[in-house]
Each structure stands twice: as C-alpha cells, then as structure tokens.
C-alpha cells in the first residue's frame, strides 16, 4: 500500500468514527463508542458499555502491572480503567484520531502526535 492510499484509509477511518463520536448521542453514552454488553437487566447504553469493561477486566484477576488502552477513543474506556488501576499504571491511550485525543485535553498530561511515516497518536499520562 503506498503512502497516499494509506493516508486516504486513515482519513476514511477518522471520518467514520469522528462523525459518530462528537454527537449528543455519544455524550449520552458517557463518551463510550462501542456496542457494550447487554443482559436482561441492562438499563442503558452507558451501563452496557460499563458491563463490557467489567466482563473484559474479569479476565485479569490480578490487576497488576501497566495497562494500555489501544483505540481509546475519547477516553471513556481509559477513564474506566482508573477504577481498577492507579493512574501511573494506565500508561497511555492510543488512537488513530488526533481529534478524539485532543478532546482529552485537561484530562491527561499531554496529547502528542508522532509521525514517522506511520501516524501514531497517544496520550502520555492520565490525570485524575
């Protein structure tokens, strides 16, 4: 894949997600942007997203070491990790969209964009 094709794919991904993630509907879901985990007692989309976090984190019985939220979106999933991990152990959030990461300003120490042919965006450290 050449550079321009890669860049146009990145733009298409960002357009698709960014269009959905800066809406009142996304805010009503607590900033989560996933389908969540629904069961008979789930009352809202936000609750379903929190359920999904709980189910995934149950796979890690001991919450040790450092955890990385790849594809962190606007940080709802990363923030949820702070219920289980100390901020210094939630090392970084990574996302392809700089717009989403920029929305985290004030919540994390620094948003930075690295470009070395591949676009990589990340949050340096989370604040509580």
Give the sheet arrangement for strand 111-115, strand by strand: 67-70, 90-95, 119-123, 111-115
CA-CA distance, 47 to 67, in Å (whole number)?
22
Total of chain residues touching ligand SAM, rule CB under 6 A: 15
Q: Which of residues 17-36 bind ligand SAM (CB under 6 A)?
A: 17, 32-34
Taking CB under 6 A as the criterion, the residue among 45, 48, 50, 73 binding ligand SAM is 73
Query: What's the closest the beta carbon of residue 82 comes to ligand SAM, in angstroms?
Result: 14
Taking CB under 6 A as the criterion, the residue among 72, 101, 111, 123 binding ligand SAM is 72
Residue 103 engages ligand SAM in binding (rule: CB under 6 A): no
CA-CA distance, 88 to 6, in Å (whole number)?
34
Residues 6 or more apart from 31 whose CB is under 8 A from it?
A: 21, 73, 74, 75, 76, 79
Q: In the complex, which residues of this chain contact ligand SAM (CB under 6 A)?
A: 13, 17, 32-34, 71-73, 76-77, 94-97, 100
């Amino acid at each position: 894949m050449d550079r321009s094709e890669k860049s146009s794919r990145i733009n298409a991904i960002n357009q698709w997600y960014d269009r959905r993630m800066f809406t009142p509907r996304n805010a009503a879901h607590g900033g989560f942007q996933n389908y969540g985990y629904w069961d008979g007692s789930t009352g809202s989309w936000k609750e379903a997203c929190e359920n999904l976090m709980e189910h995934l984190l149950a796979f890690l019985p001991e919450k040790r070491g450092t955890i990385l939220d790849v594809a962190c979106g606007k940080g709802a999933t990363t923030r949820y990790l702070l219920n289980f991990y100390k901020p210094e152990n939630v090392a970084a959030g990574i996302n392809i969209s700089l717009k989403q990461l920029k929305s985290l300003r004030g919540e994390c120490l620094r948003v930075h964009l690295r470009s070395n042919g591949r676009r990589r965006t990340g949050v340096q450290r989370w604040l509580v």
